[in-house]
Structure 1
Amino acid sequence: MSASCLSNHIILASCLTNHTMSASYRASGFLLGDVAALSRCPVTVLRTQFLKAYRENCFEFVIDHETYWDNADKDCRSRGGHLATIGDQETQAFVMDTLRSIGFNKHGLWIGLNDREHEQHWVWATGENLGSYRNWGDKQGNGITHLTDDCVHLRYIDSGHWHDSPCH
């Protein structure tokens, strides 16, 4: 997956990380209308077209290399952030719209969702439970196909549906 932090197939690791505005994090990317919002992002985060502010978070879209979920998670944490949490339809739409606007044309990207500790108990990289919003692809997230599919990527070519995959 792209370095937005996605799955085991080494598709494209689009390391989609999000940081709270107070977190220290390096990121990239913005559009002209985002300047005021981005000023609330940590000063250590590089302002490029891949850094976006949304609600109270700064999202860094790292889409320049392929990697496994484990590596994407480590990379995001080393930057002071974490793999993205997508807790509602609005955030999902924001991510998809941003991917389109930056010309993302890869298979998918990692998000912070996983069930590594307990099968079928999905939690975000932040430790938060999955919650009520879900955007699973067909036959995904149910633990029936592969018990080793513990990490989740947003499959861009499947309208942003979530797919569980091996973490490494």
Structure 2
Amino acid sequence: MWGPHLLLGVLVVYTFGRVRCQFQYPTETAGKQYQVPQPPTYKPPTNPAITGIPNINTVLVKPPPFLKLLVAVLYGYKINRRIKPTPPIKKCPEGWFRRDQRCYFFSDKKTSWYGAESLCRLKGGYLAIPDTEEENNFLKETSTSEEVRLQGAPIPHFSRWIGLRSLDGSTIQKIITNELLTFTDFVPGHLASRGLTSEPCVHMDYTSSFLWKVEKCHRGFLYICERHLHFEFKYIV
């Protein structure tokens, strides 16, 4: 049943191939090498009167601050939704420092405050919250020793984000609990001169012996993570 159809198909293909092989270029090109026409090459306009066109390299390398802030917030929210409860641990992970019943991680890479918060959650903790003078002194001393260790690294400054920020533009709260601060270590007069409306995130400033300062949250700083030993930690979103 399929034999005649198959034979007819082979015949058609063979005949078509013979016709294509016998095809000759037009007489005006006989004896000359045939040149396949090429599409015209696009050339950008060079009229100096055309202005106002943004430089794509500048747009990609230096995105607007509001765009970086939006991306950081969305990324942090996505990460927060994926975080699972952190199981109890008996000792601090490798690369963490222990003090009492808590572990601390001092990063050697910079990120925004939102990025630091998300990275700390992925590590099973949260941005460090200095609740007491003793804990704050430990963070300052370790930050100083880490600054010495990283002197050869290509890091222009060694300030570190901590888990404090302003939600209302007038007061500063702790992350996780949103409680008001019971201990502070700001540079004297800093809050009065800077305010919290546009710079609501807190970092330990290395140019001021790691006293606290507020800064725009999208700025890139090192950061400190904190996690507890012996009990489960769950970040409530």
TM over 0.5: yes
Report the counterpart of residue 162 of structure 2 in structure 1. Answer: 111
Matched ranges for 1:3-152 at <5 A: 23-24=86-87, 40-41=90-91, 45=93, 47-48=94-95, 51-62=96-107, 64-102=108-146, 103=148, 106-115=157-166, 117-142=167-192, 144-145=194-195, 147-152=197-202
TM-score (norm 1): 0.65
Check conservation: 2:202, 2:213, Cα contact below 8 A.
yes
**Cα deviation, residue 131, structure 1:** 2.9
Gaps of 5+ in 1: 1-7, 9-21, 26-38
Q: SS of the counterpart of 2:174?
A: coil
Distance 1:101 1:123, change over 3 A: same
1:165 aligned onto 2:215: yes
- Amino acid aligned to 2:179: N
CA–CA separation in structure 1 for the residues paired with 2:114 and 2:101: 26
Pairwise CA distance, 1:41: 3.0
More helix by share: 2
Q: Which amino acid aligns with 1:157?
A: T
Contact between 2:170 and 2:196, CA under 8 Å: does it hold in 1?
no
Partner Cα distance (2:173, 2:180) in 1: 5
Bigger mean CA deviation after superposition, 124-133 or 73-82:
124-133
Answer yes or no: is the 8 Å Cα contact 2:201–2:217 preserved in 1: yes
The structure with the larger Rg is 2
In structure 2, the CA distance between the partners of 1:84 and 1:97, relative to structure 1 (3 Å rule), is same
Shift of 1:162: 0.6
In structure 2, the residue corresponding to 1:134 is in which secondary structure?
coil
In structure 1, the residue corresponding to 2:142 is in which secondary structure?
helix
Distance in structure 2 (CA, Å) of the matches to 1:165 and 1:70: 13
Which amino acid letter does the alignment assign opposite residue 105 of structure 2?
Answer: E
Contact 2:174 / 2:181 at 8 angstroms: preserved in 1?
no
Distance 1:143 1:74, change over 3 A: farther
Give the AA of the match of 2:131: G
Supply the distance in 1 between the matched residues of 2:185 and 2:163 (Cα, whole angstroms). Answer: 14
TM-score relative to the length of structure 2: 0.48
SS in structure 1 of the partner of residue 181 of structure 2: coil
Q: CA deviation at 1:56?
A: 1.8
* Superposition deviation, residue 157 in structure 1: 2.1
Q: State the partner residue of 1:33.
A: none
- Give the counterpart letter for 1:136 in structure 2: F
SS of equivalent residue, structure 1 residue 141:
helix
Instruction: Name structure 2 gaps, 5 residues minimum.
Output: 1-64, 66-84, 152-156, 219-237
Decide whether the 8 Å contact of 1:119 with 1:143 is kept in 2: no
Contact 2:170/2:197, CA 8 A, preserved across alignment:
no
Structure 1's 77 and 107: CA in aligned 2 closer, same or farther, altered over 3 A?
A: same
Counterpart of 1:158, as a letter, is S
